[in-house]
Amino acid sequence: MSSSEISRSPLPYVLSERKRGLLEHFEANGDELERWREFNAAYHEDDRKFMQFLIPPGKRVLELGCGRGDLLAALQPSYGVGVDFGAATIATAASRHPDLHFVPGDVEDPATLSGIEGPFDYIVIADTIGMFEDIDGTLRLVHQLCAPSTRIIISYYSHLWEPVLKLAEAMHLRSKQPKINYIATADFTNLLDLADFEVIREERRQLLPRRWLGLGPLINKYIAPLPGIRQLCLRTYIVGRPVRQFPDRKFSASILIPCRNEKGNIENAILRMPRFGSSQEILFVEGNSSDGTFEECQRVREAYRDSWDIKVLKQDGKGKGDAVRKGFAAATGDVLMILDADLTMPPEALPKYHAVIESGKAEFVNGTRLIYPMEQEAMRPLNLIANRCFAYLFSYLVNTRLTDTLCGTKVLLRKDYEMLARERGYFGNFDPFGDFDLIFGAAKQNLKIIETPIHYKARTFGETQISRFRDGWLLLKMVWFAYRKLKAI
């Protein structure tokens, strides 16, 4: 099908009486609805910008219930397909956006979806899911157009706003709407679960869907996303992924060990390293130590050359973040893993992390030291209190429960890291730790994040390289940075 071509075949099944009424309404009032969109431009602009935040340009995007195709076009897809049941609406969409593909048909009809070539990176259902007759049944049909990495994005009005929206219609501040289902978020979560999708993130936007001399956009950007207040917002966005398990999948692993002044731990990291995955490589990235760590890494590489694939790299810059970026750039395994050279995270636990990624249970695994009892003196009391406080803040920021953002163990697929690295410009080179670059990037890319507990051990060699007050101040700056980048869009 060419970029502007539209299939002219009739709908292959009979629409319900309710669907016929919806079709007649939208076909007869298309131009009027367009004028109302211009009248409520602030609301639609905010919605469009947030969808652009959720969906980077250059992706394969399918929109179910695309209308005249303006949202789909705004997402700048490399391959974009829109489906709508209005013939006149689809014709208008094709004339406006000849570089996109448009398909007439009911998205709840299996024949409509089976005629579309997938898979897609993103599937968008914007303001139309309340018109579906069988929501979970339709979502199950969508699986045929999904890859394991596909994300489904559903946007809709909060059911709490139904009386306000009805009043706006009565006061001629909004176009008159046909009757649709206003569904609570908890019900959507249940319906997605029934259809074998799991929710990755939930966002709420727009407390004041008007400009009001610039006050509306300011409140919507900084105030509306705050905990508690966000429950009152007009717009809800749910991001989900298909639930699929891969019990027989086998991935190779690259274990990155950043090390600075850790000479006494280098050989132990190899001696204690378990065998797992289809193959393994170990990358020591040395940070210009003063105790001979680099020479020890080289010695260990030569001593274990016959039994382990070991690479030794030296940092060009400073900090763990620089070491992680250098090591991951040189890694060749399917799964990328970080093991701190102090070995307070036992290397013996790495196979468990690898299995979470390999099986498809998650796409990003973060270690946590705060579930199991830790060895005495493994973490100082003030550090423990700070970790608890920051865990709450970062859980809110990334929409996932995180109890220990500073645990050095992070695991993800190399292909996901490469995507994160390509789009790192959104955040910039902001993170000296190396932890938040990965966590924020995973949240921005809508990866499924899971925490896995470890038994945290006390150091057996060397001293901690963490300064609680200096690094605590950096963490506070990270919170504000993440709020601006992930919430105050």
Write down the pLDDT at residue 406. 75
Write down the pLDDT at residue 101. 96
Write down the pLDDT at residue 357. 95
pTM equals 0.84
Write down the pLDDT at residue 380. 60
| Cβ proximity of 69 and 103 under 8 Å | no
| Cβ proximity of 395 and 389 under 8 Å | no
Write down the pLDDT at residue 11. 47
Pairing of strands 364-368, 410-413: antiparallel
Write down the pLDDT at residue 39. 73
Write down the pLDDT at residue 296. 96
pLDDT in tens, 30-88: 777 777 777 778 888 999 999 999 999 999 999 999 999 999 999 999 999 999 988 88
Mean pLDDT by 10 residues, the chain (489 residues): 44 68 76 76 90 95 94 97 92 95 92 92 92 88 95 89 76 70 79 92 90 87 91 92 89 96 94 96 94 95 96 91 93 96 90 94 88 58 70 85 81 96 85 83 93 69 55 79 89
